Structure 1
Amino acid sequence: MPVITCIDDLKRLHRRRTPRMFYDYAESGSWTEQTFRENTSDFDQIRLRQRVAVDMSDRSLGSEMIGQPVTMPVALAPVGLTGMQCADGEIKAARAAERFGVPFTLSTMSICSIEDVAEHTTKPFWFQLYTMKDEDYVRRLIQRAKDAGCSALVITLDLQILGQRHKDLKNGLSAPPKLTPSTIANLMTKWAWGLEMLGTKRRGFGNIVGHVKGVSDTAQLGSWTAEQFDPKLDWAKIAQIKEMWGGPVILKGILDAEDAVKAAEVGADAIVVSNHGGRQLDGALSAIRMLDPILQAVGDRVEVHFDSGIRSGQDVLKAIAMGAKGTYIGRAFVYGLGAMGEQGVMTALEVIQKELDISMALCGKRNIRDVGRDILLIPEDFSGRWQG
């Protein structure tokens, strides 16, 4: 067993173990991937202030996200096709999150269904909703999430149309994978992954197949999903969905101060500053650059969370110090899942927790609730001054 000291160690194992199309699905952005790259590289520009001769004992990372106690201010982000990174991947990730004490968010485009995850966990999880043109399906999907006891609805706003990801097109991404000569050749080198997949019945989109009229198998799914993302989604429809849900609502995909204000006005319990991990609008600013302008725009009117680019505990610390109340990891936990299954997700969380704890202490803080901008050195004009 290799010694795991950072998220990159898990990433290397993930790449060796998982079929190319699913590794590429996780590790890619849209178009030139500029925004995908800068989501992580822009964190490097923010530095931490080292402090000494302060009491570093009895430290605590415990916090809350939308009123829910968390072991540290980190949630597992919704990631589509997680069950293709590892057999029953959503179940394993949800179990790890539950054991660790952080929220798990199930994607609409998951392999394991809402009911599958609920059956194999004991605590409520969050459900992420893509708004579809089929309003009857959306209503039934929301009801299924309610019936499963999901404690928050995460509505993704930045995927009304699908950004182009070159690798997915070239790999012929599908679930389960189509058996072309190149795919077969690659799968032959991933025998451990294949053996696990043979042992599960969950190989299609569990929240869709069998729940949509005219979609009874995966062969019919591609054409349905390509036409179903709702380009007409607007703030009025978001308000309707919020009322339909009737519980805590988190709006994910906010990257502009004006949109953040509108999200607060519509009554969101929290917003997630996110550019979909650089997978939608390439050329947009990184999420960490946009965090401060959004925080200034909304103040205390809505809880602000952060997503896109976190690969370490120091990244979490920087986002929290800037003012975010919580953060989300997507690729970081997927690397662990693809590398080592449920234990890999636990390992990813442990790696981030350890780095967050030590870095916080070396900045002179004992409690994550006391962390603020005073521990940061942020370049002047970090968020940029752009011509209108």
Structure 2
Amino acid sequence: MAKPEWLSNPWKQNPWFESVAVAQERARKRLPQPVYGALVAGSERGQSAGDNQAAFAEIGLQPVVAGQKKERSQATTLWGQEISQPVVISPTGVQAVHPDGEVAVARAARDRGTLMGLSNFASKSVEEVTETGARTFFQMYWTGERDVMLHRMQRAQDAGALGLIATTDWSFSIGRDWGSPEIPEKVDLKTMVRFAPKVATKPRWLWTFGRTGMIPDLTAPNLAPPGGVAGPTFFGAYYEWMNTEPPSWDDVTWMREQWKQISGGKPFILKGVSRVDDALRAVDAGVDSISVSNHGGNNLDGTPAAIRMLHPIASRVGDDIEVVIDGGIRRGSDVVKAVALGARAVLIGRAYLWGLAANGEQGVGNVLDVLRMGVDSALRGMGVASIHDLTPEHLLVPEGFHRTLGAVPAREGSHAAPAAV
């Protein structure tokens, strides 16, 4: 039997990693420091980014000593699609950690039977991603004039996107206590010379790009203007956002109505909900789903961990719309805790980016496999046959864990009040 390539090639290592933590460590070793720093850093002091992970450790699971289920199911439906596990790819910006970027991520999601979220700040076009056969949901920020936003919606629909994920609360904090990573306007010869000392120590990362003849692309092709070819740089997109008036709830309703008309009724998801009153407004605006999220701690620092805000929101609107969560998911038990507290599924971001950096498409698939195995292990240990059977009673949640922002008293005959856990 031939030896695996990683045994005979000094540039290779055993490609399998057994946890997201190992994927992160491999990404750290492989990537130039500014690139890795951009993946891990939250805004300002990183309070929200840190709490997103730490909060999961405060929740315990209740095991059984006998009566475990021989067969366990993770299959569910989300946004009108059947998925093999309650883990979905969250849209993230320019994925220059690997030359295949979002295309590699899409293939891994396709092969694992789950959904692909694609940012309009992605480094690959929506057409390239949907051509992989991945079931793609296009994420769009509230930036630009309305005719520009309509163009982006139509382009996503024409490419075959199955739904729209709207982010209306984006902000960009340049103040990070550990220093913000430098983001060049474009990658040209002058930039490469300036960054050479930082990337020269990462030859494997250079070799990955070098063998394709590519250089990291920091433009956003999905933001190309009508009739245009090239998209703006990061700073061009930032300028557009700075000159766009912040949206009202009427604007959210307009966005949903326009997408429904363009797409023929495909799902509309609002990402970034942290408050009960905003969740109720989202229901009134006609959205199909919300993601309870503080955007990985990259927006307003000091926002509670997403998992702390999940149950108060899901218990109020979970019977009306599908509720998902993103932020801090690193292991299968985290997924189980989120589903037990009311999430239909979770969205992952940094976890798959580390997998992409560590081993491309296979690394992303590895992350999804690790999470699948972790969910299965937790279900077995608790004697649960299906993720649909999970309830808060399967958890040990400390007093005062939940954070109810924007509390609204329940009206008789309306959304139920949050249940005590």
3-state SS of paired residue (1:171): coil
3-state SS of paired residue (2:221): coil
Question: Which of 304, 326, 343 lines up with 1:307 in the alignment?
Answer: 326
1:265 and 1:54 map into 2 onto residues whose CA distance is 44
Question: Which of 135, 138, 155 lines up with 2:166 in the alignment?
Answer: 155
**Structure with more relative contact order (C-alpha pairs < 8 Å, separation 6 or more):** 1
Counterpart in the other structure of 1:70: 83
Contact 2:92–2:349 (CA<8 Å) still a contact in 1? yes
Write out aligned runs for 1:4-23 (5 A): 4-23=17-36
2:301 and 2:218 map into 1 onto residues whose CA distance is 29
Q: Could you say if the C-alpha distance between residues 306 and 184 of structure 1 is closer, same or farther in structure 2, counting changes exceeding 3 Å?
A: same
1:332-363 alpha-carbon deviations (Å, 9 max, x no partner) = 10010000000000000011110110111101
Question: Which of 86, 107, 118 lines up with 1:106 in the alignment?
Answer: 118
User: Share of identical aligned residues, percent?
Assistant: 33
> Which one is further off, 209-218 or 322-331?
209-218
Write out aligned runs for 1:252-267 (5 A): 252-267=271-286
How far has the Cα of 1:61 moved from its partner?
0.8
Confirm or deny that 1:346 pairs with 2:365.
yes
Q: Could you say if the C-alpha distance between residues 118 and 13 of structure 1 is closer, same or farther in structure 2, counting changes exceeding 3 Å?
A: same
1:151-200 alpha-carbon deviations (Å, 9 max, x no partner) = 010001320x3233538974321375472766211111223322333424
1:299-346 alpha-carbon deviations (Å, 9 max, x no partner) = 411111011110110100000011111100100100100000000000
How far has the Cα of 1:67 moved from its partner?
2.4
> Which one is further off, 51-60 or 369-378?
51-60
Confirm or deny that 1:365 pairs with 2:384.
yes
Return the letter of the residue paired with 1:45. Answer: E
Higher Rg of the two aligned structures: 2
> Which one is further off, 71-80 or 56-65?
56-65
Counterpart in the other structure of 1:232: 246
Contact 2:276–2:405 (CA<8 Å) still a contact in 1? no
Contact 1:113–1:205 (CA<8 Å) still a contact in 2? no
Write out aligned runs for 1:270-281 (5 A): 270-281=289-300
3-state SS of paired residue (1:128): strand
How far has the Cα of 1:278 moved from its partner?
0.5
Q: Could you say if the C-alpha distance between residues 224 and 27 of structure 1 is closer, same or farther in structure 2, counting changes exceeding 3 Å?
A: closer
Contact 1:112–1:202 (CA<8 Å) still a contact in 2? no
1:167 and 1:103 map into 2 onto residues whose CA distance is 35
3-state SS of paired residue (1:250): strand
1:83-136 alpha-carbon deviations (Å, 9 max, x no partner) = x011121000000000001111000100011112122x1243110001112323
1:227 and 1:169 map into 2 onto residues whose CA distance is 24
1:246-273 alpha-carbon deviations (Å, 9 max, x no partner) = 1210100000111011011111111000
Return the letter of the residue paired with 1:171. Answer: P
Q: Could you say if the C-alpha distance between residues 46 and 331 of structure 1 is closer, same or farther in structure 2, counting changes exceeding 3 Å?
A: same
How far has the Cα of 1:214 moved from its partner?
9.1
Confirm or deny that 1:187 pairs with 2:206.
no
Contact 1:76–1:329 (CA<8 Å) still a contact in 2? yes
How far has the Cα of 1:276 moved from its partner?
0.4
1:356 and 1:55 map into 2 onto residues whose CA distance is 14
Contact 2:288–2:322 (CA<8 Å) still a contact in 1? yes
2:346 and 2:193 map into 1 onto residues whose CA distance is 41
Q: Could you say if the C-alpha distance between residues 221 and 305 of structure 1 is closer, same or farther in structure 2, counting changes exceeding 3 Å?
A: closer
3-state SS of paired residue (1:85): coil
1:281 and 1:342 map into 2 onto residues whose CA distance is 32
How far has the Cα of 1:290 moved from its partner?
0.6
How far has the Cα of 1:234 moved from its partner?
1.5
1:47 and 1:97 map into 2 onto residues whose CA distance is 29
TM-score (norm 1): 0.92
1:141 and 1:242 map into 2 onto residues whose CA distance is 13
**CA RMSD between the two structures:** 2.4
How far has the Cα of 1:243 moved from its partner?
1.4
Contact 1:158–1:275 (CA<8 Å) still a contact in 2? no
3-state SS of paired residue (1:64): strand
Return the letter of the residue paired with 2:219. Answer: F
Write out aligned runs for 1:272-291 (5 A): 272-291=291-310
Contact 2:221–2:229 (CA<8 Å) still a contact in 1? no
How far has the Cα of 1:203 moved from its partner?
1.5
Write out aligned runs for 1:101-140 (5 A): 101-119=113-131, 121-140=132-151
1:261 and 1:387 map into 2 onto residues whose CA distance is 10
Counterpart in the other structure of 1:24: 37
1:203 and 1:183 map into 2 onto residues whose CA distance is 15
1:204-257 alpha-carbon deviations (Å, 9 max, x no partner) = 424356436999576x65245334253421211111111111121010000011
1:5-33 alpha-carbon deviations (Å, 9 max, x no partner) = 11010001111112222211110100010
Confirm or deny that 1:355 pairs with 2:365.
no
Counterpart in the other structure of 1:244: 258
Contact 2:353–2:364 (CA<8 Å) still a contact in 1? yes
2:73 and 2:406 map into 1 onto residues whose CA distance is 43
Question: Which of 82, 97, 108 lines up with 2:109 in the alignment?
Answer: 97
Question: Which of 24, 49, 74 lines up with 1:61 in the alignment?
Answer: 74
Counterpart in the other structure of 1:44: 57
3-state SS of paired residue (1:185): helix
How far has the Cα of 1:55 moved from its partner?
3.8
